[in-house]
Structure formats: structure tokens, C-alpha cells
Amino acid sequence: MNGRWAAAIVSVILLGTACGKNEDLSPGGYVGAELSSPKPKPEFVLTSMHGGPYDFRRETDGYLTLLFFGYTHCPDVCPVQMANLAAVLDQLPSDVSNHVRVVFVTTDPARDSAQRLRQWLGNFDPSFVGLTGTREELSRVQVEAGVLPAVPDTAGDSASGHDYQVGHAAQVLAYTPDNRERVMYPAGTRQQDWAHDIPLLVQVQ
């Protein structure tokens, strides 16, 4: 009883220090970086982690689509972005989370097989979609999405050639249900930021 009472006091004190956090909202009211002019959703077809072709535009039409380019051996940004998205979607009401699609496009096709993508993304949320393709296809898709194409950093790595990192765009691109990219979420986006923005983005028609 005393612990709960103390927790309430501590919460008030600690959360009080977080006041003013939302003063940095974009003109549209988002925590993420809002684009000055929305961009159209790119159209591409890649190979799904389940084996078949995946028409990005058609499969995600009408959903809030969160597109991320990364790789499963990534030690930092990729697992954090995926883990935070999964945690927030798990907390949001189903009438919101059911209108969200998370699409992960690999930037490391040599190591990210379909099975590897299924296994890795399944650790976060089985509903996340993993896509792969040839290096050329993936580079083209990244350019179409407006991010810098990923570059494998193989210099000075192990002799096996399997222990390298990939330099890639760290932001999540958010396409609203009207198929337009409106907001970007850089590395460092927190769960509370997602929880604030996703319900707003889902409603954009």
C-alpha cells in the first residue's frame, strides 16, 4: 500500500519533468519528421519471406504502411526499430493496429534468406512482412523510396566474408492509408513517439 502511494508521488515528480515533450510536434501534430509535401508510395514487386512475389503498393493499399530498409545481422538500429514498433502495436487497440502494415526490406540479400527473414521478424511480430530480391532490385527500390542505397562495409572483416556490416538508411518511412508518405521516423524514435503518432496516421485518408 505504502509502495503504491510512494509510486504515485514518484511518478508525479518524474513524469512532471517530462512535461513539454510534445512541444516539438510537427505542423500536422506528429512527433516524427513530417514531410513538407507528401510523396507518393513507390510501386515495386519483391520476393516475400514466404516465397511468392509481393506487390508493395497493392498489398499495403489502404493501410498505414511503415517501410524500413535494414538487415537481420544489424547489431543496433534495425532490431531496436522493429522491437519498438512491435511493442507499440501490441499495446495499441486492435482497431488501430489492424490497420498497420510493417514492411522490412532487406539490404543484405546475401545473408537474409526468406527463412532467415521469417525467423528474425517472427521474433518481433509474426505479422511483419519481410522482402528480399536481387541487389539491383533492392537498390532500385531504395532509390524509388527516396533513401540512399545501402552499402556493405566489407573492408577489414573476417576472412569468411560473412561477418560484415551494412551501411543503410535508418529511418522508417510512414505511408498513410491514402498511399502517400507523410512522416519519417529516424533512428532513436521511441515507443511513446510511435504510440502518439500511429493512431493519428491511421486516420489520414
Which residues make up the interface to another protein (CB under 8 A)? 2-11, 13-14, 17-18, 75-76, 79-80, 83-84, 87, 91, 123, 187-188, 190-192, 195
> Among residues 43 and 76, whose Cβ is nearest to another protein?
76
Minimum distance of another protein from residue 189's CB (angstroms):
9
The residue written with cell numbers 510493417 in the block is 102
> Among residues 66 and 74, whose Cβ is nearest to another protein?
74
CA gap 22, 197 in Å, rounded: 11
> Among residues 73 and 135, whose Cβ is nearest to another protein?
73
> Among residues 84 and 107, whose Cβ is nearest to another protein?
84
Minimum distance of another protein from residue 146's CB (angstroms):
24
Concatenate the DSSP letters of all residues of the chain into one string: -HHHHHHHHHHHHHHHTTTTGGGG--TTS-SSEEEEEEEEPP--EEEETTSSEEEHHHHTTTSEEEEEEE-TT-SSHHHHHHHHHHHHHHHS-HHHHTTEEEEEEES-TTT--HHHHHHHHHHH-TT-EEEE--HHHHHHHHHHHTSPPPEEE-TT--TTS---EEE---PEEEEETTTEEEEEE-TT--HHHHHHHHHHHHT--
Minimum distance of another protein from residue 20's CB (angstroms):
10
Minimum distance of another protein from residue 142's CB (angstroms):
23
Minimum distance of another protein from residue 131's CB (angstroms):
22
> Among residues 81 and 142, whose Cβ is nearest to another protein?
81
